Structure 1
Amino acid sequence: MKKIQNIGIVLLLLISSSALAQQESILAFYGNHLNLVNPAAVSVNGETQFRTSVRQQWAGVKDAPQTQAASFMSPLKNNLAIGVSVVRDQVFIEKQTFVAVDFSYKVKLNESLNLFMGIKAGGNNYEVNTTGLQTYNYNISDPSLQSISRFNPNIGVGF
């Protein structure tokens, strides 16, 4: 049994060491813009809020990564709340703009406990502009260097 457990641990370490990932830009603003991740957070404070955040890396470097976020949250009547969020992310030749509208509803379970339910609808405009890239082989065009422009819809729920 101990031998099987040791083999499992070694396999887990080998698999996890080859995993690659990249952090989404919205996670950098999670603390100030909770509705970017969970639409139910729009009505948690019960007050109108407008928040903005800017993150810029490598200041002074051309095409350095930069991200801006803005979110607006406001309660409505009958335990409803609405929120709007915009995130713009730019890294070198890649640009993304995410826009979403959130609706949230508060259910009072008892005197000290509330349940917040939310729904999100929006989309992400994703662009890659490869026209400014410098290639070293001028005679042959690379088909993988095509510019990309597409819209990806996004819906979600949160509690």
Structure 2
Amino acid sequence: MKTKLYIFALLIVASSSFAQQNAQYSQYIFNQMVINPAYVGNKESWNINAMYSSQWTGLTGAPSTQTISADGEISEKIGIGFHLVNDQIGAQSQQGLFGSYAYKIKLNEKFKLALGIAVGASYFTLDGSKLTMENPDDPAISNRTETQLKFDSKSGIFLSSDRFYAGFSVSDLLSDVFKSNDLLVPNQARHYYLTSGYVVNLNKSFKFKPSFLIKEDFKAPTNIDVNAFFLYNDKFWLGASYRTGAKIFNTNKLDNSLKYKDALTFMADITISEKFRIGYAYSHSLSAFNEFPGHEISVSYYFPQKPEKRMKYLKYF
């Protein structure tokens, strides 16, 4: 199993067309900055968010991701932020740092539209000494460490009210500019994200929030997340998410050998106070590696505000 996993990890980095490469988050709905730079400043409060995600827990070389981010408003029209990510699978690791800027436009009394951009860099490493091969003398595989620094950019739009949101974003905008001819260094594929959600009042105590995320790179099956949450007394979130794949865009770059990766995730989140929230997600694969669960935990701290600037959207998105 160990040998097969490391070969699998090598194949991921050896081909930009193998699969969707960017890290997957279950709790992105509580910090959409990780997928859309236009989201920065949306909570109208400076905040820090830390997230840890582990897939296929218990399997050697399984994917894990750690993220730290911070964002807030510097004026009613401008939001800024940054996020730092560390992503690892098998012998491959990636560290990235991005700064984000969003300009917000008030459309009417209910809706505002934000336009965002992020710029930064990612440092890729492939540690050949961690590769375990059936034939250790294979000249095609080196035990040396390969590294590369790549600069990149993201952009997005985010439409929101106090009960509704919709966003569209694109990552890896410079993927066509910074390409490597070294098969051991990953070439990132451009990714497109479409999100939306709505909060419905059920009664004085309960609210219901359905949402979805569509992730596309036109080289692998489209990732689709469908989420449903119940909110109790504006403090306790409890819900589930179903993730699947679909061949929506049948392009000539699509790898038809890739299989859908269905997964079911259960999530809980508690707003402890206006300063703290904590969330947990448990994922169970319905296809490959279904005996290895996934875990994700996130923690947020919100800096105190003046009474007239209380957070409008903290409880919902």
Q: TM-score range by the shorter chain?
A: 0.7 to 0.9
* Residues 121, 155 of structure 1: 8 Å contact kept: yes
Alignment of 1:1-150 (within 5 A): 21-22=19-20, 24-59=22-57, 61-135=59-133, 137=135, 140=137, 142-145=139-142, 147-150=145-148
Which secondary structure does the structure 2 equivalent of 1:31 belong to?
A: helix
8 A contact 1:121–1:156 mirrored in 2: yes
The Cα RMSD (Å) is: 2.4
Structure-1 separation of matches of 2:69 and 2:47: 8
Q: Could you tell me which residue of structure 2 aligns to residue 11 of structure 1?
A: none
State the partner residue of 1:12: none
Question: One-letter code of the match for 1:98?
Answer: G
| Identity, % of aligned positions | 25
Quote how far apart the aligned CAs of 1:47 are: 1.2
Paired residues of 2:121 and 2:151 also in contact (CA < 8 A): yes
Counterpart-to-counterpart distance in 2, 1:120 and 1:63:
30
Aligned-residue offset at 1:133:
2.9
- What letter matches 2:92 in structure 1? E
SS of residue matched to 2:39: helix
Q: CA deviation at 1:158?
A: 1.1
What CA distance in whole angstroms lies between the structure 1 residues aligned with 2:42 and 2:135? 56
Length-normalised TM-score, structure 1: 0.74
Which string of whole-angstrom CA distances, capped at 9 and with x for unpartnered residues, describes residues 68-107 of structure 1? 1111011102521111101111111100112100011111
Gaps of 5+ in 1: 1-18
Question: What stretches of structure 2 of length at least 5 have no aligned partner?
Answer: 1-16, 158-317
Question: Normalization by structure 2: what TM-score?
Answer: 0.40
Q: Residue 42 of structure 1 contacts residue 74 of structure 1 at CA under 8 Å; is this kept in 2?
A: yes
SS of 2:122's equivalent in the other structure is strand
Match of 2:154 in 1: 156
* 8 Å contact from structure 1 (residues 42, 81) kept in 2: yes
* Residue-pair matches, total: 140
Q: Choose 1 or 2 for highest CA Rg.
A: 1
